[in-house]
Structure 1
């Protein structure tokens, strides 16, 4: 096999390691934990096959630029964008690629970009001759496009296409909700409520499905845990400055004012949990003595700043982006892999972050007042 036809997977096969390990060795990634023996084996295999990681030479040889594009909606909205960029950049650099990031402006009303903005962001990356593109909204969504995304290998991050035509890497919202319920069950709770988001998004549907599935598996799908009657957060008034907090507050007031109130509460979002904290305080219910709370989606440091600190299920955004970059680079380097992954969807597990908002049900305080 001549050097000009050798790829990273050939070196990996010869050395008996993964392509990522080869990239880490040949690009001298300092943080990679690889033994000296493995490093020597990789370098020996690369030398025998005539392979080198020189990106300029590779671009001339393959007509590729070694550039990955990342179009991300509303970069300045918070640290979630930074996590996505960091995950994608680290994965790209480990294999000798460079990341080009484009901001796609989003609407201030619903946090979503228009079709025109999405297509303009993708077009901007295509003009830079990127080898492939990742597209990432800040909030999990079903996307109809962008229509021009399929002109190069592409992967959606934290989103799925409406027709399933684009590869996607998404959080396990169902599993995250099951973990949240499991945390409360492990603490001894049997009356568990759920405040979901009423927007009907796939994330809201999956979280409700996971919540109900976890209670059913524990034999609590009726009686003590009235699953089918669990209230869902209603759309807040348009003039509300903090819609999710207000929605969480109103739903929690309704739920916690009942005589047979839950002792454990799962919230769709950390901001919903903020509203639930306020409702519990007004009703004279201490957290976690009288009410344990777990939220989904660890956002912007909210959970750690509440008192007591909020137990939450964190979205693995950096991991999603890194995995999306790996899929994209595999597709760029192997056309058969491109076809195989054209409409694949991978689900990445979320992480339960335990803090101070969960304890065994030991209080029987009666809520104050009426709602």
Structure 2
């Protein structure tokens, strides 16, 4: 009927009446105001009334009162839809909740218009800060508007050098992977990298640098014939591993820049009649939960520290995320499984 308004729900006055206290008491109890002293019985009566009536605090009123909402914004490209990078969101959400904040998450799918609209909405809600995330480690053009609130770039780096970033330590990861194969006794170690060095992709540049450092440190040659460049996918691993394993002078171990390329290398080895790890040791990178543990044998790999990075990004937002472009690199742990052993004697 014309003139009817939708029911607005219980008010703070309703809670006060049900609990037999003043509205001021309800407000102080719900906001845990410092210096306010009420008996446990009074607090219990207020909480019971809130639960019974289904009362919710007014977020807009909180913004007007405190100047900031109880939320942190999280904007990502394909992070929420990724089968493994989504762990970043869970960790960030848990860390925000520990500080009494909610995580307001938007997965943009790489749509710049949606990203801009999402950021404007978050800023209009006076979020406490924003985590700006990417599915993979890259150099990003970060929106200028993020300078209006404490903001941190997650799993990537700011091209402009204005915002702090939290990202994987790719070079140390490449070093650890290669060192694992060297420690097993391998000297013929190939690399199938996840992109070209010309791409400037931090993951590709860093993992190659780590591989090279470990090889040279132990007096081993970084042979051009043993270094291949793919694009991170399974067919790249299959193609390059096939080429490496059919050469007259073949490697006894391969460090693959992604688990998916390692999967391709497994298939190449099987096709050519090589046994893993007896004839060929393989180390991957990513620790994709849907892949690495389920290969036969299970894949030894480096884990991207999604949980640690998600928590750290929220920590930095809560600390005010001072500008300056500092990049905080987080260690990628080695996950030992069954794809590495000592090499056979070879001619």
With normalisation by structure 1, the TM-score equals 0.72
**Local SS of the residue matching 1:258:** coil
Distance 1:58 1:214, change over 3 A: farther
Report the equivalent of 1:335: none
Distance 1:59 1:129, change over 3 A: closer
1:55-106 deviation line (CA, Å, top 9, x unaligned): 999967642212111112224533334311111112112222221111111x
How many residue pairs are counted as aligned between the two chains? 290
Q: How does 1:332-371 map to 2 (within 5 A)?
A: 338-339=321-322, 341-362=323-344, 364=346
- Say whether residues 1:259 and 2:253 are aligned partners: no
Q: How does 1:16-35 map to 2 (within 5 A)?
A: none
Report the equivalent of 2:122: 125
Distance 1:344 1:62, change over 3 A: farther
Given that 1:102 and 1:125 are in contact with CA atoms closer than 8 Å, whether structure 2 keeps it comes out as: no
**Local SS of the residue matching 1:347:** strand
1:1-58 deviation line (CA, Å, top 9, x unaligned): xxxxxxxxxxxxxxxxxxxxxxxxxxxxxxxxxxxxxxxxxxxxx98xxxxxxx9999
Given that 1:115 and 1:146 are in contact with CA atoms closer than 8 Å, whether structure 2 keeps it comes out as: no
**2:188 counterpart (186, 191, 210):** 191
1:206-229 deviation line (CA, Å, top 9, x unaligned): 110111011111121x2xxx4344
**Local SS of the residue matching 1:79:** coil
C-alpha separation in 1, matches of 2:176 and 2:62: 45
- Say whether residues 1:291 and 2:288 are aligned partners: no
**2:223 counterpart (219, 224, 227):** 227
Distance 1:358 1:68, change over 3 A: same
- Say whether residues 1:268 and 2:257 are aligned partners: yes
Q: How does 1:148-167 map to 2 (within 5 A)?
A: 148-167=145-164
Deviation at 1:134? 0.3
C-alpha separation in 2, matches of 1:186 and 1:61: 60
Given that 2:188 and 2:251 are in contact with CA atoms closer than 8 Å, whether structure 1 keeps it comes out as: yes
C-alpha separation in 2, matches of 1:203 and 1:99: 28
Q: How does 1:291-310 map to 2 (within 5 A)?
A: 291-310=280-299
**Local SS of the residue matching 2:266:** helix
C-alpha separation in 2, matches of 1:165 and 1:76: 25
Deviation at 1:123? 2.4
Deviation at 1:283? 1.6
**Local SS of the residue matching 1:261:** coil
**Local SS of the residue matching 1:252:** helix
C-alpha separation in 2, matches of 1:174 and 1:344: 17
Report the equivalent of 2:135: 138
Report the equivalent of 1:78: 82
**1:318 counterpart (304, 307, 319):** 307
Distance 1:299 1:263, change over 3 A: same
Report the equivalent of 2:217: 217
Max Rg structure: 2
**Local SS of the residue matching 1:194:** strand
RMSD value over aligned CA atoms? 2.5
5+ long unaligned stretches in structure 2: 1-33, 36-57
**2:234 counterpart (245, 253, 269):** 245
C-alpha separation in 1, matches of 2:261 and 2:136: 15
Given that 1:103 and 1:121 are in contact with CA atoms closer than 8 Å, whether structure 2 keeps it comes out as: no
Given that 2:130 and 2:317 are in contact with CA atoms closer than 8 Å, whether structure 1 keeps it comes out as: yes
Distance 1:98 1:77, change over 3 A: closer
**Local SS of the residue matching 2:103:** strand
1:301-344 deviation line (CA, Å, top 9, x unaligned): 2111110000010100111010000000000xxxxxx44x4321
Distance 1:60 1:114, change over 3 A: closer
5+ long unaligned stretches in structure 1: 1-45, 48-54, 106-112, 236-242, 332-337, 367-371
1:226-246 deviation line (CA, Å, top 9, x unaligned): 4344332345xxxxxxx7111
